């Protein structure tokens, strides 16, 4: 039993992709980043490529991927459906912005409007992704004030680090983007530590007694309700040893936060192309670390249904 890699990759890739897309939409649309064909082409391809790869990987998590389109019809009640609708809708202004900024080399006017709509769509989609997990009452580790902001913070963090690497690679380094990436990385680190502290101290009042409504003794499970593992046990009944969790937390902190922050802090003192190489290493380390962090996000989650299995 282990968290599905398709969902781990999905949340990591789409977060970084939408973060970069939002920054390009705002900075490129208003001329903060001057229009340049190859810069714009590579940047938009990277942002949209991450988003598409993440969305496609999420279908691999479905029992019947060919029926994924049906999820769009439940937008009135399902955050998953709203995420699908928002993600597709975001491609419309993103396409218009890309045409104007990349191919026409324009900023301001309708290109700026399309960039703002692109950024708004990216934020909305990221929020719906976060709410998929924050809305689940049976999982106390997700049903907290830390979950939704974390998705937004990590999107800004990974997006700004990627944007910095992109600009540094094209010898167009921006001090504002570099500082934004460093501050976002440090803030994300603090938010993650606060989240872990909250989850470690979490007192879940639900027991087998309260779940079944039985009193007068301690309710124990003598055998499973069924003979094979089900979806919830595979995805939300994972048991990870405390020592392994602590080691993975250190790895996540090092790769996702400490290494990128250190590299970003010294880039100002490095000549090109050393600054560009350091920026690329910071982005690569951070995305790798976020895969570990996202894996822990799912591995640490405990669904209330596991009470029926004596856990």
Per-10-residue mean pLDDT, the chain, length 311? 76 94 95 89 95 84 65 78 91 96 92 96 95 86 91 96 94 90 97 93 71 72 66 61 79 96 92 92 96 89 67 57
- pTM for this structure? 0.87
> Which positions ≥6 away from 266 have C-beta within 8 Å?
278
pLDDT at 40 (0 to 100):
93
> CB neighbours of 47 closer than 8 A, spacing ≥ 6?
17, 18, 20, 21, 24, 162
For position 120, what pLDDT does the model report? 97
CA distance 252 to 181: 17
Q: What pLDDT score does 19 carry?
A: 96
* pLDDT confidence of residue 236: 59
Segments in 146-241 forming alpha helices (H): 147-169, 175-200, 208-212, 231-236
- pLDDT value at residue 5: 79
Residues 6+ apart with CB under 8 A from 154: 15, 19, 188, 290
Distance from C-alpha of 123 to C-alpha of 117, rounded to nearest angstrom: 10
pLDDT score for 79: 87
Check residue 39 and give its pLDDT.
93
Question: Could you tell me the sign of the dihedral formed by the alpha carbons of 281, 180, 48, 109, in that order?
Answer: negative
CB 259, CB 285: distance < 8 Å: yes
């Amino acid at each position: 039993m282990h968290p599905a890699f398709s969902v781990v990759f999905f949340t990591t890739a789409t977060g970084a992709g939408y973060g970069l897309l939002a920054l390009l939409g705002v900075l490129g649309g208003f001329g903060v980043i001057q229009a340049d064909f190859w810069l714009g082409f590579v940047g938009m391809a990277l942002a949209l490529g991450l988003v598409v790869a993440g969305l496609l990987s999420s279908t691999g998590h479905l029992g019947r991927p060919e029926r994924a389109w049906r999820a769009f019809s439940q937008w009135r009640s399902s955050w998953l459906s709203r995420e699908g609708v928002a993600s597709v809708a975001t491609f419309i202004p993103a396409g218009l912005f890309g045409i104007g900024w990349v191919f026409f080399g324009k900023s301001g006017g309708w290109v700026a409007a399309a960039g703002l709509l692109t950024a708004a769509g990216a934020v909305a989609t990221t929020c719906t992704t976060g709410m998929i997990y924050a809305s689940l009452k049976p999982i106390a580790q997700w049903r907290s004030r830390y979950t939704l902001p974390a998705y937004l913070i990590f999107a800004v963090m990974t997006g700004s680090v990627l944007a910095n690497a992109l600009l540094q690679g094209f010898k167009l380094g921006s001090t504002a983007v570099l500082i934004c990436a460093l501050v976002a990385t440090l803030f994300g680190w603090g938010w993650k530590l606060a989240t872990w502290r909250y989850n470690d101290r979490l007192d879940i009042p639900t027991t087998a007694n309260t779940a079944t409504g039985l009193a007068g003794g301690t309710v124990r499970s003598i055998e499973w309700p069924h003979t094979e593992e089900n979806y919830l046990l595979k995805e939300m009944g994972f048991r990870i040893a405390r020592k392994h969790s602590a080691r993975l937390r250190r790895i996540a902190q090092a790769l996702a936060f400490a290494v990128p922050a250190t590299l970003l802090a010294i880039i100002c003192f490095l000549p090109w192309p050393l600054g560009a190489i350091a920026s690329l290493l910071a982005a690569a380390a951070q995305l790798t670390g976020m895969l570990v962090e996202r894996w822990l996000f799912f591995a640490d989650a405990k669904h209330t249904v596991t009470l029926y299995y004596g856990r």
